Amino acid sequence: MNLVLATDDTGGPEIFASLQGEGPSMGMPVAFVRLSRCNLACSWCDTAYTWHFEGDNRPHRDGTTFARKANQVTLSPEETAARIALLGQNRLVITGGEPLLQAGALAEMLEHLPDISVEIETNGTAQPPARLDIRVDQYNVSPKLAHSGNPADLALIPERLDTFAADTRAFFKFVIAAPEDVAEVLDLQRRYRFRPSQVFLMAEGTDSVTQRERQAWLAPLCLEHGFRMSDRLHIHLYGDTRGS
């Protein structure tokens, strides 16, 4: 079973070394691998090239669709692992798209990388199988709020959120576009008993100006509710670009 990866600006697989830009590992040097395909469609998604292909009528705010052939590349798990190993990092972030849609091939890939620490970034709608789960050190779970445009019955699956809430490896990162979004986070926290120290609020935005403007009102809300605030470090360093 092969992996379907997103492409970088050269048309090759989006496998690269950088600093983790978000969440509990922000600032750490890591290897990234970005997979293609997603089961959700966030209206503000900044990696729409992983899912919003020609013929996909799910809405996205800028209306751009992408040619599937130019934005997907297929590699074997072994070849993907070899390319990751060449980056020389001891921590790997698997992102997307939604990585858990390719859980079987991911598990096979990680069997070729036994000494690397692994983070998976997921929207929290899929259950990782045991063969993959045993190799994961951290889950960065990003449940999608109403402003994402996803129906709640697709984006917020109770049994999945219950499972992640009970997992000490899981951190919850919520994208916040307006102050009123925090009320939805509080409702989810009460329902699933997320630990405040495991919850990150992150301002939506793909440029530094927007990030700073929204962080000005987001910081007091984090302080009020005991949540942690995540920046988007890669936006400040590299802009909204692939492979960074």
List the CATH number of the domain containing 132.
3.20.20.70
Within 10 A of 172 (CB to CB), how many other CB atoms are there? 27
Could you give the CA distance from residue 241 to residue 244 in angstroms, rounded to a whole number?
A: 6
- Do the Cβ atoms of 161 and 127 come closer than 8 Å? no
Q: What is the pLDDT of residue 244?
A: 85
Residue 171 lies in a domain: yes
- Do the Cβ atoms of 223 and 193 come closer than 8 Å? no
Residue 230 lies in a domain: yes
Give the contacts of 102 (CB within 8 A, at least 6 positions apart): 3, 4, 35, 37
Could you give the CA distance from residue 113 to residue 90 in angstroms, rounded to a whole number?
A: 10
Which range marks the domain in which residue 140 is found? Answer: 3-238
CA 156 to chain centroid, in Å, comes to 15
* Structural domain count, the chain: 1
Q: What is the pLDDT of residue 181?
A: 98
Kindly give the parts of the chain with pLDDT less than 70: none
The whole model's pTM is what? 0.97
* Single-letter residue type at 53: F
Residue 48 lies in a domain: yes
Cα–Cα distances in angstroms (integers) from residue 140 to residues 20, 196, 220, in the given order: 12, 15, 23
Residue 8 lies in a domain: yes
Residue 101 lies in a domain: yes
Instruction: Give the helix, strand, coil percentages of the chain, each rounded to 5.
Output: 35, 20, 40
Residue 166 lies in a domain: yes
